[in-house]
Every structure is written in structure tokens, then in C-alpha cells.
Amino acid sequence: MNEQEQFEGEAVDANNAIAELLRDYKRWKSAKTMTVHNCPSPFTSLDLLPLPTCRPSQPCCGIFAIPTELKQTACSQIDSARDMASLSRTCRFMAEFLEDFRYHEVAVRSPAGLASLCRGLSSVKVDRLGRTRAERLRVLTISWMTTASLPRTRSDLNWVLSRVPNVRHLSVDIPVSDLEGNAAISVPVTRQIPLDHLQSLSSLTTTATLVRRLRSPVPSLTCLAVDMVYPLDAAVLTEISRTFGQTLEKLRLVRAFHNRHSYSWQSPARVCDALLAPRLEHLELWDRATMEDTGLDSTDLVADNSPLHMHASAGVPALRTLMWAPAWRGASSTNTKRFKIVMRTYRAHLLAILEPIALAICVSDTHAYLAWSKEDRTRHKAPSLVEVTSEMWEKCL
């Protein structure tokens, strides 16, 4: 028997098993409903019958003819929230059944979508465990780039965040004009986004502009990712330390270099010096150039700055891993000789300043030059470019 015949035989066996399962279920269902106690006489007036004390049972045809376990398995394979919503609108019974599968992960991609989410969370519908939609929500993403905001965008955002106490992963990336209206960016920032009541929130992804609009610390937050950080804007790092410094364990910054002068502040040691996060263990810096110059010829020699060299690690005493993707990482394939010179210079400085630490200078999302230092001041480095994996980090640490 070849592989094709074996596969077809297994498929036939599976179909036969499902068909037999359905027949058994239908026989059990029919046997259960054959004897009906206290059945009213055909001549009994409808006005004398008691009102039903529960909702009607589900129909016994189509998808509702199969066991609940199979229906749950089938519905759990629906990844698209749009498909789930469309399916729930087919009938009342389907809407009730799918309520258990909805509003666990929600992605909002427009101001109108945010307003729609407000209406959805206002519903009093509950799942089998008695949880409302707002109580079930665990992952919430609010992100769009359009500037066509609605008048109620800011109030809608505050309303949604005030109704999702159990959310664990939150991502907010919207234009600041949607929060400030016509106010100029230079106007002192008024914090408009409350997060302190989100007691289950463990990770947050947002932008440098929105970080300044967070009202108060979140006790449970351990992971933070911030986009659009300008190297010369030290106030952003100050806000991160003030709001999340006491609980933060993992931090990812996406930095944008918009002029040649900013490359004089590209060393990760400057970020460590500006942070005050005693529990921070993992730091990632992903740099990108917004111009043709990538800063390869603008080396930031932090070793020449004695105060920085001595105190850079004071604010992050628990730091164990540093992953840095410099803006000039593309030179690893176009200007290999210069790339290796600059890379080795930064590697020596960072190992000396932040030891003990595991350091990865990335050339892509998955490959990096790896090195590490230990408390006895011994230093090690991988002989060539390596693929960065979780096992590799554990080996270094």
C-alpha cells in the first residue's frame, strides 16, 4: 500500500468514526425525548399552560446536530474576529454559543472601530462562566495612522481602558492629535490615559509621545516596548523610570536618528545611564536612520566620558542581557571591514562598562555577534556571526 492509499484509508476511517458518533448522539437524543411527563392534553387551552422558565433549546439540525465538544473545537479554529462576528450574526443560537469565544483578543484599527468597541463592551451579554465581554478581554491592540479622528476619540479611549480590568497585554499607537485635538505639541502635556487600575497588565507597547500621557504607575507591569524614541530626548527615559522603573524587567526601545548630531548619543551605555530601573534584566535597542547617513563614521566613544563610564550601570544593577541593533547594521554586508572595527570598539566599551552582561550586536532580526563578560572580569565572544536563540542566552548566562 502506497502513501496515498494509506492517507485515503485513514480519511475514510475518520469520516466513518464521525458519522457513527453523530448517529449515536441522535439515537441518544431521540431516546431522551421519547417519554415526556406531564404532557398537556391536545384539548388544553394555551392560556392555561405555564410560561417557559428558560430559553428555548438549540435546534437539532446543521452544526447544532453535532456534540458541543466538536462545535467548540471547530469554533476555536476561527482566528479572524471579523469572521467570528459575522458567524455570530447568523442566528440567535449561534450568537449565544459563540459568546464564549469572543472578546478575548481585540484589535482596533480606526477611530470608528474604537467607537464600535465601546458599543460592544457596553453589552450585558455574558458567557457560560458569567463573565461580561469587558471582563473576558485579555489582549487589546489600539493602533492606527490615520489623522481623521472623531470628536469622542479621547473619551472613547479612556472609557474602554476603564472597563477592561483584566487585560494583560495592551498596545496603544495612535496619533497624538487624537488625544490633544488642535493643541500644539509644545504645550505642556496633560496626562490623559489612566492605567493604574489595570492590576493584571503585564506588558505595554506604545510610543514615546504617549508614554508622557500615562497617568500613574502600573504595579504589575514588567514588559514595556516604546517606539519613536529620539536619542537626544532624555525626558522620555525619565518618564519611563518614573512611571515603570520599580517594576520593569524587560524594556525595548525603537530609536529614530534624524540628524548627524544624534549619532553622538547612540551608545546603549547612555540609555543605561539615563534609566532608573533596579529590576531591569533585559534591554533591547533597535535603531533606524531616517536619512542616508547611518552613523557608521560617528562613533560615540563613551569611554572618554569618565562620569558616564563609572556610573552607567548604577541605575540598572540587575541588567543581564543587552541586545542592540545599530542603525549601521546594514554595513555588515556592504562595508564589512569598517563594520567590524566599529562593532569591536562598541563591544569592548559596553562589556567594560556594564559587566557582567551578555551582549548581542545584531545585524538582522535573528543573527548577531555575541559576547559576554562575567563578574571576574573575564570576557568571551563567539568566533563568528551566530543565530540568537533562547538556548544561546541561557548558555551565556
Task: Compute the distance between CA of residue 379 and CA of residue 322 in angstroms, rounded to an integer.
Answer: 15
Band the pLDDT of 102: cuts 50, 70, 90.
confident
Band the pLDDT of 250: cuts 50, 70, 90.
very high
- Is a pLDDT exceeding 60 seen at residue 44? no
Please tell me the predicted confidence (pLDDT) of residue 214. Answer: 82
* Residue of 276 and 396 predicted with greater confidence: 276
Mean pLDDT of 342-348: 91
Helix axes 111-121, 153-162, angle to 10 degrees: 40
- Is a pLDDT exceeding 70 seen at residue 47? no
Mean pLDDT of 385-396: 63
Please tell me the predicted confidence (pLDDT) of residue 46. Answer: 36
Task: Compute the distance between CA of residue 123 and CA of residue 119 in angstroms, rounded to an integer.
Answer: 7
On whether the pTM is more than 0.85, the answer is no
Instruction: Please name the residue that has the C-alpha cell 502506497.
Output: 2
Q: How many angstroms separate the first and last alpha carbons of the chain? A: 52
Please tell me the predicted confidence (pLDDT) of residue 333. Answer: 87
Mean pLDDT of 6-34: 58
Please tell me the predicted confidence (pLDDT) of residue 26. Answer: 63
Mean pLDDT of 6-21: 57
Q: Which helix (H) or strand (E) holds 386?
A: strand 386-387
60-102: CATH architecture: Up-down Bundle (1.20)
Task: Compute the distance between CA of residue 330 and CA of residue 164 in angstroms, rounded to an integer.
Answer: 42
Please tell me the predicted confidence (pLDDT) of residue 17. Answer: 57
Task: Compute the distance between CA of residue 4 and CA of residue 282 in angstroms, rounded to an integer.
Answer: 50
Question: Which three cell numbers, joined as nine digits, stand for 56?
Answer: 428555548
Please tell me the predicted confidence (pLDDT) of residue 60. Answer: 57
Taking Cα atoms as reference points, which of 7, 60, 51 lies closest to residue 30? 60
Segments making up each domain of the chain, as ranges: 60-102, 103-206, 222-397
Band the pLDDT of 298: cuts 50, 70, 90.
confident
Q: Which residues of 218-237 are buried (b: 16+ CB within 10 A; e: fewer)?
A: beebbbbbbbbbbbeeeebb
- Is a pLDDT exceeding 60 seen at residue 98? yes
Band the pLDDT of 54: cuts 50, 70, 90.
very low
Instruction: Please name the residue that has the C-alpha cell 406531564.
Output: 38
Task: Compute the distance between CA of residue 222 and CA of residue 201 in angstroms, rounded to an integer.
Answer: 9
- Is a pLDDT exceeding 60 seen at residue 396? no
Looking at the chain, the whole-number percentage of residues with pLDDT higher than 70 is 74
Alpha helices in 245-374 (DSSP H): 268-274, 306-311, 331-334, 336-354
Please tell me the predicted confidence (pLDDT) of residue 62. Answer: 61
Mean pLDDT of 63-79: 70
Mean pLDDT of 208-219: 83
Task: Compute the distance between CA of residue 236 and CA of residue 226 in angstroms, rounded to an integer.
Answer: 10
Strand partners, 172: 142
Please tell me the predicted confidence (pLDDT) of residue 48. Answer: 43
Q: Please classify residue 113 by burial: count the beta carbons closer than 10 Å to its beta carbon, then call 0-12 exposed, 13-18 middle and 19+ buried.
A: middle
Mean pLDDT of 75-84: 74
